[in-house]
Structure 1
Amino acid sequence: MTKKITLGASQLMSVNFYSSAWTDRRNDTKSFATLAYWQEMARVLEAAHFDFLFFADVIGFPSDENGIPAAAIREAVQTPAHDPVTIVSGLAATVDKLNFVVTSSTTAERPFMLARRFGTLDHLTEGRIGWNIVNSDNQTALVKLLGLGEVTEHDTRYDRADEFVDAVTKLWEGSWEDDAVVFDQAGHTFADPEKVHSIAHHGRFFDVEGIFTVVPGPQRTPTLFQAGASSRGREFAARTAECVYMQEATVEAAQTTIRDVRERAARFGRRPDDIKILNGVSIVVADTEEEAASIRADLAAAPSTEALAMHFLGWTGINLLALDASKPLSQRSEFGHSTLDRYEDGPTVGEIIDGLRSSLGGLKITGTPESVAQQMIDMVEQTDLDGFLIEPNFGGPEEYRVFGEKVVPLLIERGFIDEQTEPTTLRQRLFGGSDGHINDRHRGAEFRVSQ
């Protein structure tokens, strides 16, 4: 049986993304702050049979002990970054079948407020919403912006995230029984009080007690995404996520990560197919191999040295421009562990910056429509990958339109993508099923209210 490829489009509500190619003439992100821009994006993605639009997000900006370098503002690296959750209901009203995933931080948020927001969106999107769980890597800026006092140690942030997930799933799953709402106007009874329960969570990081003030939506718990790459991050993903996002650049690396995540999930009593694993990818498609190679070369040449260094600063808190380019990187920080681990073999700071030009964004697929389709299929078949998060190159809806017109029909023809004809919840789109709820093996199932 042919394995179906899940397709997501990875976006940031900004003018810029990993590629830092916003200065290219093909860029079309100037109106990123408008609803109309994202409505057009949603229409293009739905027509191209994408499963969901994924909003990455950052809180803060590249910074160190000296603050934000001017280069970060000049090159629009992780700033501006507008709040994507504000537009999701508008996009859900624009298209019928496309789903939406929004990043939100367990370090910056409070459990009740996040549960309330996503519970409301579950209704407004008719179940087409997912939460990408992050614990926020940009700790230096986060501490200053939110007044957190001090940088939180890496594994402690995951401990907090674990407890955060327990608290929100208690609210989503444990407060309202399925038939609690009766809407009996004559009897002056909106809901049966016997079927609405107060939940109590008292932990190391959070205290939450009371009823949940949002009635259950189509999914109850939004579909859960996560992208931790460290060992602790993979452990969290294996226990929590229904869809894991990774960013491996080779078949061998993808095989290793996928096998590791699935083995960890099994130790939590989950099945391999309980988790969809997607890989980030930059796709360049053109009518000829030569034209595609030329476009890829333009992408590699677009970011300045300053822009590359500012991306690294945002990921790790280390400003490469302030270091001796001829010496190896010796600094560590409390975030960006998976990024820093790549440089343990001792490349110089200058070599790291040069390497970012080709490695920015991870996996790259380049070629004609037939070649691109085959490379995607090969990656799935050789690694047990479930699909791709396709990243923007120059920015704007047009590159997704080209992909949808040139590559997607080939994937449909070969049986790797189904044409979606009816709306479903996001969880049903990914896993099937009749009710769109978390399955019995998920950690949140233990908090279900008894009927």
Structure 2
Amino acid sequence: MPSNKHILLNAFNMNCVGHINHGLWTHPRDRSANYHRLDYWTDLARLLEKGLFDGLFLADIVGVYDVYRANVDLTLQESIQLPVNDPLLLVSAMAAVTQNLGFGLTANLSYDLPYLFARRMSTLDHLSNGRVGWNIVTGYLESAARAMGRPAQVEHDRRYDQADEYLEVLYKLWEGSWEDGAVLADRERRIYAQPSKVHPVQHHGEFYQVEGYHLCEPSPQRTPVLFQAGSSARGLRFAGRHAECVFISGQSREAAARQVAAIREAARQAGRPPQAIKVFMGISVVTAASEAEARDKHGEYLRYANPEAGLAHYAASTGIDLGRYGLDEPIRFEKNNAIESAVKTLTANQDWTVRRILDENALGGRYPALVGSGVQVADQLHGWVQDTGLDGFNLTRTVTPESYADFIEHVIPELQSRGLYKTAYAEGSLRHKLFGAGDRLPGQHPGAGYRDLAALAQR
């Protein structure tokens, strides 16, 4: 990796008690049960900006984890992403107490109309002065489909077909409805916006019928930074066309390197530069002033973590009830509409068992866990980037906010001393901070092709 390439870093969190590393809400220093208090989030935002984090990436889920043992008993007992509040409503408050921190917001397009969603995201982009991104998800829980009045989820690849059209509608609204220079705000002439420069969207597709003007004037980025996490063949094709940042969850450097290469190739096949997509990997870190202290802290955390809760979370991700299996029974393939890549990983070689999953979930979740001093963790992060081509990491919480504070105290200065992490924020929007090429979608991105709606209508 070139010495001047800075590692990108998001804090990975969720508007709930238990996110990835389950059970740690019971730790006496953990504050995640305060997730429904505004000061919990504003304090966290201030802390992350102090550490120069690029963003706070907020996961979300629609539906509940009811696959494990066919009920929600453990889900409720350990608060496995239940209860969960809306992530978008947090941004205004956090943006008000920060100047540079970005916000990656997960929103499920399967159950939300694009016309109103476009307004919500434009509003947040305005209020944050261009610091929002959208993590595009289509969902994977049958419980969500039932809750939304549907007998079952739409089939996996078909959901991505719908997502392609959803993005087309959004690009028309965000990029094309209002021309640059449409807003004059001219008090003397009593012209706020020029009618000739504001255009209605006319979209008549398979999934959506939209006729109307975007309700918001252009925000700093217009289109928020686009995140995506699908790694199935269809998900990669979608990412290659639309995503600017992709989130992966590699369990080894070799697996992560293959995923990064596949994402770069997907971008190339979509006619975009391979480096147009930044790739982030989920990771957990337990660090302290020395290796011994970090090991002690890790051991302490393990006593509060719940591997079975991690197993229940994974059961929902795969759609396979792992509670039906014996500890050493190979887990078999089941065709379903859950996360396709997770099902294939779990069943491809018939070498995964419940015991192995529980071992990997010792800290309550399956992300790689780095344990050590700031120097040791910096070594490992640098090694991951060099060996895989990753651009950065989504740092999940263990004990919150302690895990973020420890990382800022022990790891950030070490990365900075090696020239691997910024010492100050760049100016501008989240997109410009990440890519250094302005606030708007680049010209090679398909969304940029919707900026002239009048010309499109004549084709």
Distance 1:76 1:209 in 2: 42
Give SS of 1:95's match. coil
Tell whether 2:361 aligns with 1:361: no
- 1:40, 1:397 within 8 Å by CA — same for their partners in 2? no
Alpha carbons 1:19, 1:392 under 8 Å: kept: yes
8 Å CA contact 2:226, 2:245 repeated in 1: yes
**Aligned mates of 2:152, 2:108 — CA distance in 1:** 17
Question: Is the 2:69–2:322 Cα contact (8 Å) retained in structure 1?
Answer: no
Partner amino acid for 1:447? Y
- Give the distance between the partners of 1:179 and 1:122, measured in 2 at CA: 18
8 A contact 1:176–1:449 mirrored in 2: no
1:374 is matched with: 379
Moved more, 226-235 or 298-307: 298-307
- In 2, are the aligned partners of 1:309 and 1:319 still within 8 Å (CA)? no
CA distance in 2, matches of 1:305, 1:132: 27
* Separation of aligned partners in 2, 1:356 and 1:311: 13
1:197 is matched with 199
Q: 1:353 & 1:152 partners in 2: Cα distance? A: 28
Change (3 A) 1:339 1:298: farther
Q: Which residue of 2 aligns with 1:13?
A: 15
TM-score, normalised to structure 1's length? 0.94
Give the direction of change, closer, same or farther, for the CA distance of 1:308–1:34 in structure 2 (3 Å limit): same
Select which of 220, 234, 239 maps to 1:237. Answer: 239
Q: Encode CA deviations 1:161-188: one digit per residue, 9 max, x unaligned.
A: 1111111111000100111112233433
Give the one of 392, 399, 412 matched to 2:397: 392
Conserved 8 A contact 1:280-1:361: no
Q: Deviations over 1:285-336 (max 9, x none)?
A: 1222233233334444534354133212331333222444453323332112
The gaps in structure 2 that reach 5 residues or longer are: 455-459
Q: Report if the CA contact (8 A) 2:130-2:430 is conserved.
A: yes
1:122 pairs with 2:125: yes
Gap change, CA 1:297 and 1:158, over 3 Å in 2: farther
- Which is worse superposed, 157-166 or 348-357? 348-357
- Contact 1:370/1:407 (<8 A) preserved: yes
CA contact (8 A) 2:431 2:440 kept: yes
Change (3 A) 1:95 1:63: same
Contact 2:64 2:72 in 1 (8 A): no
Whether contact under 8 Å (1:97, 1:420) holds in the other structure is: no
- Note if contact 1:77-1:307 (Cα within 8 Å) is conserved in structure 2: yes
Displacement of 1:64: 4.1
- CA drift of 1:389 comes to 0.6
Give per-residue Cα distances to partners, 1:177-207, cap 9 Å, x unaligned: 1111122334332211111111112111111
Question: 1:71 — aligned with what?
Answer: 74
**Aligned partners of 1:230, 1:439: CA distance in 2, in Å?**
26
Instruction: Report the RMSD for the aligned CA atoms in angstroms.
Output: 2.0
* Cα contact 2:13–2:58 (8 A) shared by 1: yes
Structure-2 residue corresponding to 1:30:
33
Name the CA distance, whole Å, in 2 between partners of 1:439 and 1:422.
18
Mean Cα displacement is larger for which, 268-277 or 111-120? 268-277
AA matched with 2:171: T
The question of whether the paired residues in 2 share the 8 Å contact of 1:219 and 1:437 is answered with yes
Question: 3-state SS of the aligned residue for 1:107?
Answer: helix
Q: Distance in 2 between matches of 1:239 and 1:248?
A: 22
Deviation, structure 1 residue 226: 0.5
Partner of 2:210: 208
- Where 1:60 maps in the other structure, the secondary structure is coil
Decide whether the 8 Å contact of 2:104 with 2:134 is kept in 1: yes
What letter matches 2:290 in structure 1? Answer: T
Q: Secondary structure at the match of 1:131?
A: strand
Q: Given that residues 280 and 362 in structure 1 are in contact (C-alpha distance below 8 angstroms), is that contact kept between their aligned partners in structure 2?
A: yes
1:148 to 133, 147, 150: 150
Structure 1: segments with no counterpart, 5+ residues:
none
What's 1:42 paired with? 45
One-letter identity of the residue aligned with 1:173: E
Find the residue that maps to 2:13 and give its secondary structure. strand
Q: Name which of 185, 188, 201 aligns with 2:187.
A: 185
Q: In 1, distance between residues paired with 2:270 and 2:357? A: 39
**SS of aligned partner of 1:342:** helix
* Whole-angstrom distance in 1 between the partners of 2:352 and 2:422: 47
Contact 1:96 1:423 survives alignment (8 Å): no
Aligned residue for 1:220, secondary structure, equals coil
Distance 2:153 2:67 in 1: 12
Amino acid at match of 1:267: Q
Contact 1:308–1:356 under 8 Å retained in 2? no
Q: How does 1:25-424 map to 2 (within 5 A)?
A: 25-64=28-67, 68-138=71-141, 140-304=142-306, 306-330=308-332, 331-344=334-347, 345-347=349-351, 349-358=353-362, 360-394=365-399, 396-421=400-425, 423-424=427-428
1:432 paired with 2:436, answer yes
Q: CA separation in 1, counterparts of 2:6 and 2:344? A: 33
Q: Is the 8 A contact 2:67 2:316 kept in 1?
A: no
Query: Could you tell me which amino acid in structure 1 is paired with residue 12 of structure 2?
Result: S
2:282 partner amino acid: G
In structure 2, C-alpha distance between the alignment counterparts of 1:210 and 1:362, rounded to whole Å: 44
Q: Give yes or no for contact 1:284–1:295 (8 Å, CA) kept in 2.
A: yes
- Alpha-carbon contact 1:106-1:133 (below 8 Å) kept: yes
Distance 1:374 1:121 in 2: 37
Say whether the 8 Å CA contact 1:380–1:386 is kept in structure 2. Answer: yes
